[in-house]
Amino acid sequence: MKNERKRTFLLITIPILALFVCFNTIPLIRGVIYSFTNFKGFGSYSWVGFRNYIDLFSDARVGKSYLFTFKLAIVTTVVVNVISLILALALNSKIRAKSFFRGTYFLPNILGALVVGYIFNYFFTYILPALASILGSESLSTSILSNPDSAWFGIMVVCSWQAIAMNTIIYISGLQTVPEDVYEAGGLDGATGFKQFRYLTFPLIIPFFSINMVLCVKNFLMVFDQIMALTKGGPAQSTESISYLIYNNGMSGGQFGFQSANAVVFFIVIVAVSVAQMKFSGKKEEQL
């Protein structure tokens, strides 16, 4: 009887584990192996030792893409969380047509990022400048995507537009865990408005705040679709995200080996960031 149970579990685990190893672990290892070659993706290749890694750290284009990706991830995370918290507080207060509002605010999240990017691309190139020139705004009368200093802002807007939906919903479910009597008790102590939020509500939804932070940072560090749709890395290579650079140069640019090295470093960075975040939020929660 006991053996039957054990055997069944093994029979379930082994094939699924094999599938996982085959399409996750083995490609990962192969990626690491390719990172030590000068493989172009076709033809023959040779071992180059750590040359790709050395190049990686002296390559301005790669450095720029890391800077861009991190800048985008951090700014977008902050913007998204601030706006979603405000929206969540509003949506959780006593309002009419609550479920209509919730439903509509979540809408952007279900739409494909690529097509959303294409739609916004048109707005930034044609509609926004047209609106701006009517309003007499000089700085916005040209497409923000055509200027290396402002193109990232356009990408940030599109990423936020979609991500806010998700984070708001998570904050709402967080706010619903706050019992009504906490506010009542707080109201007696004179905690209202922002004070009430700062000292009563926010500490209680910290776990949800951590979830949102982790989700945001991880998603935005891997940003790809929006870049593909909006700028394809331009202008002047100012909006190349790490994923985009790896795809573009690795698959079509003949840098299979070199970009594999980039991907390995990127992997380590993602793991480091995730671990750091979990440690940090774990500590935060303990303090409370």
If one asks whether residue 277 binds another protein (CB under 8 A), the answer comes out as: no
Q: How far is the CB of 148 from another protein (least distance, A)?
A: 6
If one asks whether residue 137 binds another protein (CB under 8 A), the answer comes out as: no
Binds another protein (CB under 8 A): choice among 53, 70, 123, 153: 123
If one asks whether residue 69 binds another protein (CB under 8 A), the answer comes out as: no
Minimum CB distance to another protein smaller for 8 or for 137: 8
> Residue 53 belongs to what H/E stretch?
helix 51-58
Distance of CA 143 to the CA centre of its chain: 25
The residues near 39 (Cβ < 8 Å, ≥ 6 apart) are: 45, 256, 257, 260
| Coil/strand/helix, residue 140 | coil
Q: Which two tokens stand for residue 68?
A: 């861009």
3-state per-residue secondary structure call for 57-107: HHCHHHHHHHHHHHHHHHHHHHHHHHHHHHHHHHHHCCCCCHHHHHHHHHH
Q: How far is the CB of 78 from another protein (least distance, A)?
A: 18
Q: Which two tokens stand for residue 130?
A: 């047209």
Binds another protein (CB under 8 A): choice among 210, 274, 277, 281: 274
Instruction: Compute the distance between CA of residue 72 and CA of residue 220 in angstroms, rounded to an integer.
Output: 7
- Identify the bridge partners of residue 47 per DSSP, sorted by sequence position: 37
Which of the residues 190 through 209 are near another protein (CB under 8 A)?
208
Is residue 164 within 8 Å of residue 108, measured between CB atoms? yes
If one asks whether residue 271 binds another protein (CB under 8 A), the answer comes out as: yes
Pick from 239, 267, 273, 278: nearest CA to 71? 239
If one asks whether residue 280 binds another protein (CB under 8 A), the answer comes out as: no
If one asks whether residue 223 binds another protein (CB under 8 A), the answer comes out as: no
Q: How far is the CB of 114 from another protein (least distance, A)?
A: 5
Which of the residues 71 through 90 are near another protein (CB under 8 A)?
86-87, 89-90
Binds another protein (CB under 8 A): choice among 180, 190, 193, 288: 180
Minimum CB distance to another protein smaller for 82 or for 251: 251
Q: How far is the CB of 61 from another protein (least distance, A)?
A: 8
If one asks whether residue 186 binds another protein (CB under 8 A), the answer comes out as: no
Q: Which two tokens stand for residue 164?
A: 């806010």
If one asks whether residue 50 binds another protein (CB under 8 A), the answer comes out as: no
Binds another protein (CB under 8 A): choice among 50, 104, 198, 285: 104
Is residue 213 within 8 Å of residue 274, measured between CB atoms? no
> Which one of 72-80, 191-199, 259-267, 280-288 is the stretch in contact with another protein (CB under 8 A)?
259-267
If one asks whether residue 34 binds another protein (CB under 8 A), the answer comes out as: yes
